[in-house]
Amino acid sequence: MVEEGEKNLIHMTEEKIEFGEKLLQSLVGLRHFDGILKVDRKIRQELKFLRKISNSGLLKKEHLQCSNLTHFSALINTLSNVDNCLAVNKVFNLNDRKITIDIICDGGLTWVKVVARNPKSIKQICLGDGSYGVRSVLDQAYDYLECAQIYPCLFQTPKIIFIFANGIYEDLAKHLESIGIIVKGERLVDEDFTEYEDIQQVQLSTKDISEIKKVNLDVSAMLAYVSSVTNGSCLKYKLQTQVLAQQAEWEAKRPVKPVLDAFFKDKTLYCCETARNSFLEILNTVGGPNEIQRGEELLKRINVLPDNATSSDTLDKSPVNAIFNNVQLLPNRQLKVGGKIKERSFIIFTFGDRIQAVTVTANDGFVRAAKQQGINFVVFVHESRALTEQKEFKAEKI
């Protein structure tokens, strides 16, 4: 005798299969799109699997939950609302990997990613609480942005739109917008609030580094430390630049300087000459007088070493920490400079590796790109903050 739960599961499976059949019918008028046959084939594969597992008597609820039919439905619905679509499920090569772009429209000037997961699932994956190998929307966003730089259209970098069919939590949406993604979909308030700007720390910062007493400062860390916005001005001005205004808002919620001070406590600070010179160049170009003064004071606390220095050149002669073995920078395995891997950052991060220091940085793009090439630098990642004092001179006071 079939139990009630099993009956419900069979009924849901039948509904899911009927849903898939209707999706196939909806593709009839879209045959002219490049790549639509691939979508057709994938839907048929989903239906074949559901029928097979249903007939086997081994059907489980997880089989329905893992179905991609919901994603294909959102993809098809989006296709009816875009202009001048060129391709669907278009594959590009990126750093020896293949990246699939859901929709290319506006004659190639816009790339669209369709996300059909529920907001809670999106959040959990961003926080690292997902199945092995599942990439978060942040990972996918960085992939799209980097790929778009490599494959311009009409001499322009395609703009990136992420469409969240079932909504997205407000803070994560703002984070995506801060890195250059256009976000569409219902904005939701996360009742179980998590600071999304801390996601990058959860995902990217190296674990078990509290005992390492040497700190290598990236340029982004030095700028964040001396910025006016991290030194008391975040609630004083209405900054006109969107990115700066957003950072001021985040700073009011999550001050960066106390985080850095806590991490620096009882540690020795280092930077390489390239980092010091770049920091001073930026500081003297766009920094205000108070930021410049704080920058000079910070540099007095930092031991500046040549770019090619090693651990033996540092004040701390402690044994090599085994955690640095995971960096895996070997003569036959080097990072490929390009995209998010800039020459300056490459020098700074490898300097930190050689002197056996934790590199403190807001450059999560570099850290992610290095990880994608199999290189895991020892890092502490914090939120980005830019210099703001010059902008504040012209800004309206709150």
CATH number (domain holding residue 139)? 3.40.1350
Phi and psi torsions of 321, nearest 5°: -80, 130
Query: Residues 136, 247: one domain?
Result: no
pTM: 0.62
Residue 23: predicted pLDDT: 92
Residue 217 and residue 161 in one domain: no
Alpha helix segments (H runs only) across 320-376: 343-354, 364-372
Same domain, 184 and 216: no
Quick one: 143 and 276 in the same domain? no
At 121-131, the pLDDT tens digits run 888 787 666 55
Alpha carbon distances (Å) from 29 to 23, 36, 88, 301: 11, 10, 14, 67
Last residue of a domain, one of 165, 194, 223: 194
Q: Which CATH number fits the domain that encloses residue 274?
A: 3.40.50.1010
The answer to whether the beta carbons of residues 370 and 353 sit under 8 Å apart is: no
Q: Tell me which residue range forms the domain holding 116.
A: 82-194
Give yes or no for residue 188 having a pLDDT over 70.
Answer: yes
Phi, psi values for residue 360, rounded to 5°: -95, 125
Last residue of a domain, one of 149, 173, 194: 194
Mean pLDDT of the chain: 86
Q: Which of 18, 49, 79 is the last residue of a domain?
A: 79
pLDDT digits (tens, 9 = 90+) for 24-60: 999 988 888 899 999 999 999 989 888 887 777 666 6
**Structural domains counted in the chain:** 3
Residues 187 and 252 in one domain: no
pLDDT tens for 262-295 read 999 999 999 999 999 999 999 999 999 999 999 9
The residues, ordered by sequence, that sit 6+ positions from 298 with a Cβ below 8 Å of its Cβ are 222, 225, 226
Query: Do residue 208 and residue 133 come from a single domain?
Result: no
